[in-house]
Amino acid sequence: MLVPNWRRVLLRASSLWCVYLAAALEIAASTIPYVADILPRWLTLAVLVAAPIARIISQGGLDADHEAE
């Protein structure tokens, strides 16, 4: 197996998933005509604000240690 603790890696990457989701929402709103009418303008900003919060929650604090499983 390439990454033995893949579940933990995906959990700790949740803040980046928020950034990816915000980028996808912004691209969809810009390129697909009807998506801009459905999505509220504040949704992308709310997802980006959730990114640092997700980082703190998933990693257990701002100064989380890097122990190996």
- Where are the domains positioned within the chain? 6-59
Residue 57 · residue 15 · CB < 8 Å = no
Read off the pLDDT band of 21 (50, 70, 90).
Answer: very high
Determine the 3-state secondary structure of 61 from DSSP: coil
Read off the pLDDT band of 23 (50, 70, 90).
Answer: very high
CA–CA distance, 19 with 52 (Å, rounded to integer): 10
Which of the 8 DSSP states describes residue 32? S
Per-residue pLDDT tens digits for 24-68: 999 988 898 888 888 888 998 999 998 888 878 766 655 555 554
Kindly tell me if the per-residue pLDDT of 11 is higher than 80. Answer: no
